[in-house]
Structure 1
Amino acid sequence: MRGVLRMTLLTAAVLGFAGTAMAEDWQLAKDEDGIKVYLSSVPGSKYKAYRGVVDIKADVQTIGALQDDVAGSCKWIHACGEMRLVKQEGAGDSWTYSKIEMPWPVTGRDVVIHVTVEKTADGGMIRHLKGDPKAVPAVPGQIRVPKLDGEWRLVPKGAGVTEVTYQVQTEPGGSIPSWLANSFVVDAPMNTLKELRATAEKR
């Protein structure tokens, strides 16, 4: 289940394009309502990677539980159209399938993500996201995202506050209009973190 959400989150990120591992030169693109979004160029890709950072007034366990709620997570993930668990092996190793909603006339995307969970020494958590496009057969009417790398990093800051970082690099497959690519890399982390925060802080 945890993998599902992670994937889901990735899903939203899917369009975020390009660069967790290779992105290095992060530039602040938007700072709004306590959420900072950074973008980075990625060598060999025309799409930028994105990273969103926010402090949420909730502990790691509360946020982790929201990410494990596959059915409910689509409500706070930007552009999430559908999300489901494909396979789970143990508590921290799963595969999820997600559909990403695209504005007309852009063809919808879908993504299969292998999610692994790492517990950190400080009581935090990292959900590693890796695209696995061949794990699920092609779906008619969807363009499969061929590459995605990312992570969700939860770091406890004390007093019930968690720093959440959402970072993704991806190649969306097919052709994406420049206006959509440019807006998505900012909107995906901004809107996802904003909705996640609002949901977590109601708990």
Structure 2
Amino acid sequence: MGSLYRIACGIGLTVMVVACAQAEDWKVAKNEEGIKVSLSDVAGSQYKAYQGVATIKAGIPRLRALQEDVAAACAWIHECKSQKILKHEGDKTWTYTQFNTPWPVTPRDSVLEITTVEGADGSLTRKLLGQPKYIPEEKGFVRVAQVEGYWKFVPKGDNLTEVTYQVHTEPGGSVPSWLANKFVVDAPFNTLKALKEHAEQ
């Protein structure tokens, strides 16, 4: 029984390691203007996870303020049409966002639960979790089925902050592969580029 237990644990550990390795197997898709975008396959999904990393000449308080001004943040979030706060409670905020999509794809909307965590090292993490059933679906929009990711801000001294934006999305409905492949590169790149421009003004 002891041997069987050890074998079972060993197999379980191997599966966990493989899953983690797959989730972290990032391949650089774009590296321009100080912004690096990497993609990773996600087990059981036809859509890749994306990760954008950039160093911005602004402190964390400035970046946090831009993030927490939810309506105005739509100006720098890729393909954002409108955005609003649904509820704020403690370290959690629920937001509703409508996105533009090219014809003939039906526009998407999403509900996010955002949890803000302050690190002992001065870093700030904003965890993103889709809550598609939080409010009724809107006519003319397809609700994004799943969102999981985070924003992470790490101070680098001299008013510099390393910003990481990582997300995996199940967009719901039918999305052409060309659009999905374009989105996972454009979303982090354009979002970080616009955030950088706003933060460094």
Pairwise same-fold verdict (TM > 0.5): yes
Q: Compared with structure 1, are the counterparts of its residues 21 and 142 closer, same or farther at alpha carbon in structure 2 (3 Å cutoff)? A: farther
For the residue of structure 2 that corresponds to 1:84, the secondary structure is strand
Q: Is the CA contact (8 Å cut-off) linking 2:99 and 2:108 kept in structure 1? A: yes
Give the drift of 1:22: 6.8
Q: Is the CA contact (8 Å cut-off) linking 2:81 and 2:99 kept in structure 1? A: yes
AA partner of residue 73 (structure 2) = S
Same amino acid, percent of matched pairs: 56
Work out whether 1:74 is the aligned partner of 2:79: no
Mapped to 1, the partners of 2:132 and 2:185 lie a distance apart of 24
Q: Is the CA contact (8 Å cut-off) linking 2:22 and 2:40 kept in structure 1? A: no
Q: Compared with structure 1, are the counterparts of its residues 72 and 153 closer, same or farther at alpha carbon in structure 2 (3 Å cutoff)? A: same
Structure 1 partner of 2:133:
134
Work out whether 1:181 is the aligned partner of 2:180: yes
Q: Is the CA contact (8 Å cut-off) linking 2:149 and 2:166 kept in structure 1? A: yes
Matches within 5 A, 1:27-38: 27-38=27-38
* 1:46-104 deviation line (CA, Å, top 9, x unaligned): 000000000000000111011111221111111001111111112x2111110111001
Matches within 5 A, 1:187-202: 187-202=186-201
Q: Is the CA contact (8 Å cut-off) linking 1:109 and 1:144 kept in structure 2? A: yes
CA RMSD of aligned residues (A): 1.4
- Give the number of aligned pairs: 182
* 1:126-173 deviation line (CA, Å, top 9, x unaligned): 000000111111111111111110100000001100000000011000
* 1:32-53 deviation line (CA, Å, top 9, x unaligned): 0000000000010000000000
Structure 2 partner of 1:146:
145
Q: Is the CA contact (8 Å cut-off) linking 2:71 and 2:82 kept in structure 1? A: no
Query: How high is the TM-score relative to the length of structure 2?
Result: 0.88
Structure 2 partner of 1:47:
47
Mapped to 1, the partners of 2:173 and 2:71 lie a distance apart of 29
Q: Compared with structure 1, are the counterparts of its residues 142 and 21 closer, same or farther at alpha carbon in structure 2 (3 Å cutoff)? A: farther
Query: How high is the TM-score relative to the length of structure 1?
Result: 0.87
Mapped to 1, the partners of 2:172 and 2:22 lie a distance apart of 19
Structure 2 partner of 1:60:
60
Mapped to 1, the partners of 2:93 and 2:26 lie a distance apart of 30
For the residue of structure 1 that corresponds to 2:133, the secondary structure is helix
Q: Is the CA contact (8 Å cut-off) linking 2:42 and 2:49 kept in structure 1? A: yes
Give the drift of 1:23: 2.1
Structure 1 partner of 2:25:
25
Structure 1 partner of 2:9:
none
Q: Is the CA contact (8 Å cut-off) linking 1:53 and 1:165 kept in structure 2? A: yes
Structure 1's unaligned 5+ residue stretches are 1-19
Give the drift of 1:21: 11
Q: Compared with structure 1, are the counterparts of its residues 162 and 21 closer, same or farther at alpha carbon in structure 2 (3 Å cutoff)? A: farther
Give the drift of 1:122: 1.1
Structure 1 partner of 2:15:
none
Task: State the 4+ residue runs in structure 1 displaced beyond 6 angstroms.
Answer: none
Structure 2's unaligned 5+ residue stretches are 1-19
